[in-house]
Chain A
């Protein structure tokens, strides 16, 4: 399998949030009106203008404090359940770029059932804008297909975000994991086989974020499995029914 992948090395993160802002800058996404709710994590969650979000967690055990910073974004699943849901509702609402493997939603995603799209995502990524469009990280497909790094990767001061050919990224991930294992025995790569955004964590992934690893049944739920089985037929039926 070729295409592109991200490596997000959380051990390097210092939560400067340049990735979060760089994402907004490239995608021309508005700032969200927020309040401080007793956390530095802001906006509180993904929203229609926030495709990249640094999540903050902190834990104290005795005298030792651990901070878990998680630069969250779409995983660009190899086999993306969100695309299946969107495809089943509307043709061309989501596409998978051949060269990179990026999953990109289009304006036609308005026609897809947002709740299903979101609930089918094992990582709780998709969000909806007021106009109904479903949105998320695009892998900066316009930058990438013109030979540039994704905006977040370029902006990271710590070299914690990497992007490149999948084989290269996988090799880098394994090498980095081996290095970190010496200091952090619990270090691991998350869902490496099924996603293009590979996270490297040094502690329990659940300490970072509820959806750091794929929830429940990564990839395929029964509903989606059914759709796949009957794929085009069901879509055709739907289209007719809606028509």
Chain B
């Protein structure tokens, strides 16, 4: 991937380095020639595509090379559709990358329980796999009433998701169909 920077503007008296405009927190000298540090100067730029509507706008993520965290996101100026611009949602994706409300643990709610309990992946995936098998085995219809082979798991349904990547979608449909699901749906239907 090659990034060019079409969003540069001409500027007279450009400075190379200097003060940071950290929320106006710095003590600025009372002179009238300043140079200002760009807070994304040393960040790694990664192109991505917005997760919201299907216009498919390009976004650049700026990742701090020390912490590995995204520190800023903005429109991809090279992208032919949005040419650097974004809507309010596209302009906000930084808050998706850095959000304390994200679920970061596997959560489990037992039958009749009033609370979530954090679990590890291994436990949860084994338990779900067991549930899948139990539901599938109990609801599997090998032949219909007319004796025709249908090989259908009728007791499990799945919805989702138009938010996943193509490669995930393809694997997900292959997996669900291997299980024998017919009740496979997602956002396209609503």
- Proximity string of chain A (161-176) to chain B, C-beta cutoff 8 Å, 1 when within and 0 when not: 0011100000000000
Q: Is B24 at the interface (CB under 8 A from chain A)?
A: yes
Cβ contact within 8 Å between B26 and A106? yes
Do A148 and B20 contact each other (CB < 8 Å), given the known contacts A21-B92, A106-B27? no
| Segment from B78-86, B115-123, B182-190 that makes contact with A | B78-86
A: number of interface residues (CB 8 Å): 45
Interface residues on B, range: 35 or more
Does B14 contact A22, Cβ atoms closer than 8 Å?
no
How would residues 1 to 30 of chain A score, 1 for a CB under 8 Å from any chain B CB and 0 otherwise?
010000000000000111011100111100
Complex-state Cα separation, A156 to B91, whole angstroms:
10
Stretch at the interface among B69-77, B139-147, B157-165: B69-77
CB contact list, B74-108 vs A, under 8 A: 74-75, 77, 82, 84-88, 90-92, 94
Q: Which residues of chain B are within 8 angstroms of A163 by Cβ–Cβ distance?
A: 9
The one of B7, B14, B23, B39 that contacts A149, using a Cβ cutoff of 8 Å: B7
Give B77 Cβ to nearest chain A Cβ, in Å: 8
A194 within 8 A of B: no
Q: Which of A18, A25, A133, A145 contacts B35 (CB 8 A)?
A: A145
Are B92 and A25 in touch, CB under 8 angstroms? yes
A138 interface residue, CB < 8 Å from B?
yes
Q: A18-B91, A154-B75, A164-B9 are in contact. Are A138 and B24 (CB under 8 A)?
A: yes
- CB atoms of A26 and B72 under 8 A apart: yes
Asked if B167 is an interface residue, CB under 8 A from chain A, the answer is: no
Beyond A154-B7, A155-B75, A157-B82, is A145–B27 a contact (Cβ under 8 Å)?
no
User: Taking A18-B87, A25-B91 as contacts, is the C-beta distance between A99 and B11 under 8 angstroms?
Assistant: yes
Contacts of B84 in A (CB 8 A): 149, 154-155
Interchain nearest-CB distance for B87 vs A (Å):
5
Residue of B nearest to A134 (CB): B24
Inter-chain contacts of A99 with B (CB < 8 A) = 11-14, 33
CB within 8 Å of B: which A77-111 residues: 91-92, 95-100, 104-109
**Taking the complex as formed, is B15 at the interface, i.e. its CB lies under 8 A from any CB of chain A?**
yes
A20, A99, A109, A133 interface centre (most CB from chain B within 10 Å): A99
Distance A26 CA – B10 CA, assembled complex (angstroms): 20
Given contacts A99-B13, A157-B86, contact A22 B36 (CB under 8 A): no
Residue of chain A at shortest CB distance from B23: A28
A116 CB-CB contact with B under 8 Å: no
**B-side contacts of A95, CB under 8 Å:** 28, 30, 32, 34
Give the chain B neighbours of A165 by CB distance below 8 A.
10, 12
Q: 4 closest Cβ contacts across the A-B interface?
A: A92-B30, A99-B13, A142-B36, A21-B91
Known: A92-B29, A97-B34, A105-B24. 17 other contacts (CB 8 A): A16-B87, A18-B85, A21-B88, A25-B91, A99-B12, A99-B14, A106-B27, A138-B21, A141-B34, A142-B21, A145-B14, A147-B8, A147-B10, A155-B75, A155-B84, A157-B87, A165-B10
Q: Hey, which bits of chain B sit against chain A, CB under 8 A?
A: 7-15, 20-21, 23-30, 32-39, 41, 72-75, 77, 82, 84-88, 90-92, 94
